[in-house]
A and B are shown apart, each in its own frame.
Chain A
Amino acid sequence: MEDTFVVAGRELRSRLLTGTGKYSSFDVMREAVLASGCELVTVAVRRIDLDAPGESIVDYLPDEVMLLPNTAGCATAEEAVRVARLARAGGLPDWVKLEVIPDQRYLLPDPVETLRAASLLVEDGFTVLPYVLPDPVLAKKLEEVGCAAVMPLAAPIGSGRGLKLRHTIEIMVEQAEVPIVVDAGLGAPSHAAACLELGADAVLVNTAIAKAADPVEMARAFRLAVEAGRAARLAGLIEELETASPSSPVTGLV
């Protein structure tokens, strides 16, 4: 049986989601998205500059990927709801990666406003994937209001520091009844593999791919790492020991 995970009834084969920000060009972004094998990509929503509309990112995204609009830039529940409704009315999917972030230095999400926005958006028919600090109690509350997945950060957005908040993410994974998608802070494919090994359903990666020296190759590396991490999770990792355990026979020495 194929190993997939399901968000709001949609079956996803790829456990790697990617962001579309920070690429040197839309061409490179497109090639990286293709190399990543991802099925969901995040996009932001911004006003068009009437003086210089420029090209649309949508023209560069493969037809087969689903767009996941985010609410980046919103600091309150009302702002996030406004952006999500605007995106849906304009033809984007009724899915939203909910970000409510009042803090510009660490870009840490506001849990109270996030929960409030999630509740309003679910009531309005959205499929909501909230970006949160890894807080198992908050995750349960988000589940209770009807969120389709929860997206805890591994480390601050764009920091590349890896799985700094491992322990609470492990608790979230243990308790979750919706998919857990680790989002933000992953810097290396090994970080992504570690997330899948500990049981996360998927990861979302942007900066580590977009800002790599070769983003297309890095996208491929993350795809392989996510596959490896998931395979390891299914295969069952050994328990860690305090002392050594010899791999060669200890008898019959010559």
Chain B
Amino acid sequence: MTLLAVNDLSVEFVTPGGRLRAVDGVSFELAEGEVLGLVGESGSGKTVACRSMLRLLPSERARIAGGEVLFEGRDLLHESEAQLRRLRGSRLAMIFQNPSTHLDPLMTVGRQVAEPLIYHEGLSSRDARLRAIELLRQVGIPDPAHNIDAYPHQFSGGMRQRAMIAGAIACRPQLLSADEPTTALDVTVQAQILRLLLELRDDSGLAIILVSHDLGVIASTCDRVAVMYAGRIMEQATKAELLRHPRHPYTAGLIASRPGDGARGQELRSIEGQLPALSALPAGCRFHPRCPHAEAVCRTGDLRPLAIDPTHTTACIRWREATAAA
């Protein structure tokens, strides 16, 4: 059953030089217990898209320019601020890239995990504390009865991320949006955190939006993947389909750029060129200046995603030719 449907979401930054669309017509759906990967380069708009769904805009200059975010049928973009606050932290939760700065340095870990329980569910501080110990145990913090009184600086990076997850899932949300949750962690801890997220999904049917620039993280975790580029979704498919049969040259380029595929001693492959600035977006397909298969037809018109089959969409109008050439 569809839990979240994002339709044509656009977010703009109002700058002295004009309006910049950081997110442009993004659409995707998420079912209960599903893990959707949002992958793209830095600056592709994945974080902005993710935060805008909860109306947590990254700056006072940002505003939602259009679209709808339907959560269980309710449009979050048109809920009152008070209604939205009731949903945030209880039904919709979020975890962030850098757990060191996203935890309050002057509050014990236990109080931060217990706070949403007290605030949203009206638990007494004693009950909330007991639940917090349980939650810390659930996310794999050793000796939770003792560590509950620790301050964030006494935790390692991995433990801080676990603590942040504990706070986010305290009220049993249905949707967790995880913005680069493992980027600041070392590789072994990364795998543990991803495993923890999948366990939570399996235990409680939690749906997860996993934002990452790391295709490896996406490949090991997600059910479906949406590839973002310059504020738009370039391709969207199930993970296996996307990795095996990419139908967009950008996705193909990302996959080919993964280290480890080539022979030893060979130079790592990359996509030529750079992500365009939002103030100077190319006409037509936004990827065409870097695309090895670009033709005249790619340089004009407003190219929107087209469905190849019910579970696979691509924004490339020449996907047949590009796939054949590759």
Bound pair (A, B)? no
